């Protein structure tokens, strides 16, 4: 009865009392929560200590506290060394800042550097910053990728600096790097910075082209050459020296594939590469080192004399350094010399064994049949008549499914691509190009009846003005022997021909001295194949390309009815 009565009494409480009770509970809860939040903030919050901040933050705090303070934060405050040079990470932040010098005191070193009348210091980091900023805006940056800068040096005048950098071409898929050095004229700007007023052409900053040491390039032994200061600087990144074979034990552990000369010798360069890559591909299939002959016979079609020329070095035309990195190769002369020496040494020893050799007299013995052969040397001999003695016959038939030609291992010589880079650089990488095929094809009216007329100067002018803007740099890659043949185009375009750059392979050029060192001190002729290689690479780097058989003539590339 009592519990029932108490419950009824509680139920009979006025509504106002119930509302007051609820409100008091909510307020108490909010108070407790606010106290808890304040306590957490008080524990975790740490006010900034002005002595632990930078001078800029300290100045800002003081100026906010004292409206009449003399620590102005506007641009009238001369920057100090602390503002120009970042604070070292190991510097102690607990030491009190030094007192600011009075304004009337002697100027600091940084202030003296900002004097617009002070001599230009090319090693100042702000000079390099200005040059980098300028290069980021120039037109040729779309054609090249800047890789790294060197510290600028003084130019020929007080307001000039010569700067050098490494770069690579965007249209070249290799990792090759090239070097450019240009002359910049600078002037002081606001906020102690510099601005570039003008810049010279490709490799105009000759003071930045300092001699650099490099590993010598020679056919078999180290050769030291003396260069006069007027000669161009050698490329320090070319290393096409011939690798050594190591000890006799290393030699016996190795496995080699050796091709003797066949009918491909003195054939066209395309056939030479097709055959050479067949041998290199077989060596890779057999997991062997390929013994290669660095001596090439250049076909008569590439020589002004009209005769085949033997004794050309592989490194004149192709990148031997890249080949060594891409495939296992050894030079033939060095290999045969040590092979004979090791065999004679084995004959003098009691119980000595000679190098095991398997001779393969015909290409009909397939690479698959030689896969399990354990001989130290597999010697393929090509003594039969043509075309039985062509190297590429090894890779025909069923072998084509197993042997892959390593085309990635063959690059053009960097000495030739250096010339390409210099020609493109002379035109600031901003040019168009046209490929004009004439020569024997233009004279053969039976296979190419329209080629001669379609590539005449008058017709070329009519066609080119429609696709290339007037007075653009126009490079003409051609086999036309007469230099003045394209003179009518000069009134419409800035015409460039390969012969305009003869100094790049002349007797004072980098190419001349490098190739002469490879050729035992004898000068090397800049032959027809080199001309084709350079012409082609310059053509590929152009903004707009106009081809003979795709754009200029109705004839087919290989003659009538071959399109």
Closest by Cα among 407, 447, 423, 426 to 563: 447
Q: Which two tokens stand for residue 17?
A: 């009392």
3-state DSSP of 161-193? EEEEEEEEECCCCCCCCEEEEEEEEEEECHHHC
What's the pLDDT tens digit per position in 508-524? 999 999 999 999 999 99
Closest by Cα among 347, 303, 308 to 527: 303
- Residue in this structure with the two tokens 């009824």, named with its chain if needed: 8
Percent of the chain residues past pLDDT 90, beyond the cut: 56
Q: Same fold for the domain at 248-409 and the one at 414-552?
A: yes
The arithmetic mean of pLDDT across residues 18-34, rounded, is: 79
The pLDDT-based confidence of 108 (bands split at 50, 70, 90) is: very low
For residue 556, how far is the Cα from the chain centroid? 36
Q: What's the rounded Cα separation, in Å, for the pair 270 and 377?
A: 28
Contact of 328 with 422, CB cutoff 8 Å: no
pLDDT of the residue at 13: 58
Contact of 433 with 545, CB cutoff 8 Å: yes
Threshold 0.85, pTM exceeds: no
Contact of 342 with 355, CB cutoff 8 Å: yes
Contact of 370 with 258, CB cutoff 8 Å: no
Q: What's the rounded Cα separation, in Å, for the pair 461 and 489?
A: 6
Characterize the bridge pairing of strands 178-188 and 194-199: antiparallel
DSSP labels for 59-78? HHHHHHH-TT-S---STTSP
Contact of 538 with 417, CB cutoff 8 Å: no
The pLDDT-based confidence of 247 (bands split at 50, 70, 90) is: low
What's the pLDDT tens digit per position in 302-322? 887 889 999 999 999 999 999
pLDDT of the residue at 33: 77
Contact of 433 with 476, CB cutoff 8 Å: yes
Among 175-179, 209-213, 281-285, the range with the most confident prediction by mean pLDDT is: 281-285
Contact of 64 with 51, CB cutoff 8 Å: no
Q: Which two tokens stand for residue 175?
A: 């990792």
Q: Which two tokens stand for residue 308?
A: 């085949």
Question: What contacts 217, CB < 8 A, 6 or more positions away?
Answer: 238, 239, 240, 241, 315, 514, 517, 518
pLDDT of the residue at 110: 44
Closest by Cα among 248, 265, 259 to 292: 259
- Give the other-Cβ count within 10 Å of 382's Cβ: 23
H or E element, residue 111: helix 109-113
The pLDDT-based confidence of 506 (bands split at 50, 70, 90) is: very high
Contact of 232 with 263, CB cutoff 8 Å: no
Question: What contacts 452, CB < 8 A, 6 or more positions away?
Answer: 438, 442, 443, 445
Characterize the bridge pairing of strands 153-154 and 144-149: unpaired
Contact of 475 with 500, CB cutoff 8 Å: no
The arithmetic mean of pLDDT across residues 482-508, rounded, is: 96
Q: Where are the domains of the chain?
A: 125-208, 248-409, 414-552
pLDDT of the residue at 256: 95
The arithmetic mean of pLDDT across residues 547-557, rounded, is: 92
3-state helix, strand, coil in the chain (%, to 5): 40, 15, 45
Contact of 289 with 254, CB cutoff 8 Å: yes
For residues 284 and 85, the model is more confident at: 284
Q: What's the rounded Cα separation, in Å, for the pair 143 and 172?
A: 10
Q: Does pLDDT of 229 surpass 80?
A: no
pLDDT of the residue at 197: 93
The pLDDT-based confidence of 219 (bands split at 50, 70, 90) is: very low
Averaged pLDDT of the chain: 80
Q: Does pLDDT of 371 surpass 90?
A: yes
Q: What's the rounded Cα separation, in Å, for the pair 203 and 422?
A: 8
- DSSP state letter for 43: H
H or E element, residue 309: strand 309-313
CATH of the domain spanning 248-409, picked from 3.40.50, 1.10.3470, 3.10.450, 3.30.1380: 3.40.50
Would you say domain 414-552 falls under CATH 2.60.40? no
CA angle 222, 411, 505 (to 5 degrees): 65
pLDDT of the residue at 295: 94
- DSSP state letter for 292: E
Strand partners, 259: 380
Q: Which two tokens stand for residue 168?
A: 């690579």
For residues 100 and 7, the model is more confident at: 7
Residue 182 buriedness (CB in 10 A; 0-12 / 13-18 / 19+): buried
Q: Which two tokens stand for residue 198?
A: 């003008």
The pLDDT-based confidence of 402 (bands split at 50, 70, 90) is: very high
Residue 2 buriedness (CB in 10 A; 0-12 / 13-18 / 19+): exposed
For residues 92 and 313, the model is more confident at: 313
Q: What's the rounded Cα separation, in Å, for the pair 518 and 114?
A: 52
For residues 39 and 549, the model is more confident at: 549
Read off φ and ψ for residue 292, nearest 5 degrees: -115, 145
Q: Does pLDDT of 163 surpass 70?
A: yes
pLDDT of the residue at 71: 31
pLDDT of the residue at 113: 52
Q: What's the rounded Cα separation, in Å, for the pair 335 and 323?
A: 17
60-69, 249-258, 288-297, 300-309: which range is least confident on average?
Answer: 60-69
Q: What's the rounded Cα separation, in Å, for the pair 111 and 191?
A: 11
Q: Which two tokens stand for residue 61?
A: 């705090």
- Give the other-Cβ count within 10 Å of 285's Cβ: 18
- Give the other-Cβ count within 10 Å of 166's Cβ: 15
Contact of 286 with 371, CB cutoff 8 Å: yes
Closest by Cα among 361, 413, 400, 418 to 384: 361
Read off φ and ψ for residue 153, nearest 5 degrees: -125, 165
Q: Does the bond joining 387 to the residue before it have cis omega, within 30 degrees of 0?
A: yes
């Amino acid at each position: 009865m009592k519990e029932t009565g108490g419950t009824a009494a509680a139920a009979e409480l006025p509504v106002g009392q119930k509302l007051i009770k609820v409100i008091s509970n909510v307020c108490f809860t909010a108070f407790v929560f606010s106290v808890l939040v304040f306590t957490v903030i008080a524990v975790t919050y740490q006010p900034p200590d002005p002595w632990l901040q930078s001078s800029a933050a300290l100045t800002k705090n003081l100026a906010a506290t004292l409206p009449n303070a003399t620590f102005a934060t506007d641009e009238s405050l001369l920057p100090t060394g602390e503002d120009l040079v970042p604070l070292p990470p190991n510097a102690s932040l607990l030491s009190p800042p030094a007192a600011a010098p009075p304004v009337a005191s002697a100027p600091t070193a940084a202030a003296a550097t900002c004097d617009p009348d002070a001599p230009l210091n090319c090693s100042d980091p702000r000079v390099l910053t200005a040059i980098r900023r300028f290069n980021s805006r120039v037109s040729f940056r779309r054609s090249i990728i800047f890789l790294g800068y060197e510290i600028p040096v003084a130019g020929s005048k007080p307001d000039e600096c010569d700067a050098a950098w490494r770069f690579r071409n965007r249209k070249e898929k290799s990792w090759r790097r090239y070097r450019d050095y240009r002359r910049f004229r600078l002037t002081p700007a606001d906020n102690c910075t510099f601005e570039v007023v003008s810049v010279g052409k490709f490799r105009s900053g000759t003071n930045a082209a300092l001699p650099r040491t490099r590993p010598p390039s020679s056919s078999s032994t180290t050769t030291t050459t003396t260069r006069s200061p007027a000669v161009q600087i050698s490329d320090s990144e070319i290393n096409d020296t011939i690798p050594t074979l190591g000890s006799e034990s290393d030699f016996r552990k190795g496995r080699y594939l050796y091709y003797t000369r066949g009918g491909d010798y003195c054939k066209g360069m395309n056939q030479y590469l097709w055959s050479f890559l067949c041998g290199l591909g077989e060596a890779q299939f057999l997991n062997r080192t390929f013994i290669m002959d660095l001596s090439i016979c250049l076909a008569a079609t590439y020589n002004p004399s009209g005769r085949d020329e033997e004794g050309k070095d592989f490194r004149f035309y192709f990148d031997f350094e890249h080949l060594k990195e891409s495939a296992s190769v050894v030079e033939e002369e060095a290999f045969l010399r040590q092979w004979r020496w090791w065999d004679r040494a084995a004959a003098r020893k009691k119980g000595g064994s000679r190098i095991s050799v398997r001779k393969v007299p015909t290409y009909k013995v397939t690479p698959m049949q030689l896969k399990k052969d354990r001989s130290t040397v597999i010697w393929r001999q090509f003594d039969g008549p043509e075309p039985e003695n062509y190297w590429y016959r090894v890779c025909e038939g069923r072998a084509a499914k197993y042997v892959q030609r390593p085309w990635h291992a063959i690059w053009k010589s960097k000495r030739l691509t250096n010339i390409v880079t210099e020609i493109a650089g002379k035109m600031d990488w901003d040019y168009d190009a046209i490929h004009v095929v004439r020569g024997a094809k233009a004279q053969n009216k039976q296979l190419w009846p329209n080629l001669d007329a379609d590539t005449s100067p008058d017709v070329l002018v009519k066609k080119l003005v429609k696709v290339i803007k007037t007075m653009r740099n126009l490079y003409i890659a051609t086999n036309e022997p007469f230099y003045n043949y394209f003179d009518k185009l000069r009134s419409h375009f800035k015409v460039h021909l390969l012969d305009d750059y003869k100094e790049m392979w002349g007797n004072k050029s980098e190419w001349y001295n490098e190739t002469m060192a490879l050729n035992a001190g004898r000068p090397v002729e800049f032959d027809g194949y080199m001309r084709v290689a350079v012409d082609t690479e310059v053509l590929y780097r152009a903004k707009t390309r106009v081809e003979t058989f795709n754009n200029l003539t109705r004839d087919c590339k290989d003659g009538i009815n071959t399109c």
